[in-house]
Structures are given as structure tokens and as C-alpha cells.
Amino acid sequence: MTIRIGVNGFGRIGRNFFRALDAQKAAGQNADLEIVAVNDLTSTDVLAHLLKFDSILG
């Protein structure tokens, strides 16, 4: 049974959670978790850019 997750806020913690879950899924872990929504005030283009280019994590 897949657990569907919504992320409320895509700041530092929300992005790190997204990255951690994505890395675990790539390694074959937590295959039953799925992020279905991200709630934030910023446009999706800006959120995608912030996820791709992080000044702290690289």
C-alpha cells in the first residue's frame, strides 16, 4: 500500500526531505512512499530551480 505524502512548505527542510526521499527511492528503499503535492507560495519554476541548485548542499 502506497503512502501518499504532501509537503507543506518547500523551504530548506521541505527540499531536504524531498531529496532524502528521492535518494532512498533510487536506492530501492521506501518504495511505498510517494510525494503527491508540494504546497508553497512560490511558482513551480522557482521551486524547481531551488531544488536543482542549492547553495548549501551543492
Q: Where are the domains of the chain?
A: 3-52
Estimate to the nearest angstrom the gap between the alpha carbon of 36 and the chain centroid: 10
Residue type for 15, please?
A: R
For residues 47 and 18, is the Cβ–Cβ distance under 8 A?
no
pTM for the predicted model, two decimal places: 0.83
pLDDT given for residue 58 in this prediction:
59
How high is the mean pLDDT in each 10-residue block of the chain (58 residues)?
A: 94 93 91 93 93 78
Question: Do residues 1 and 36 touch, judged by C-beta distance below 8 A?
Answer: no
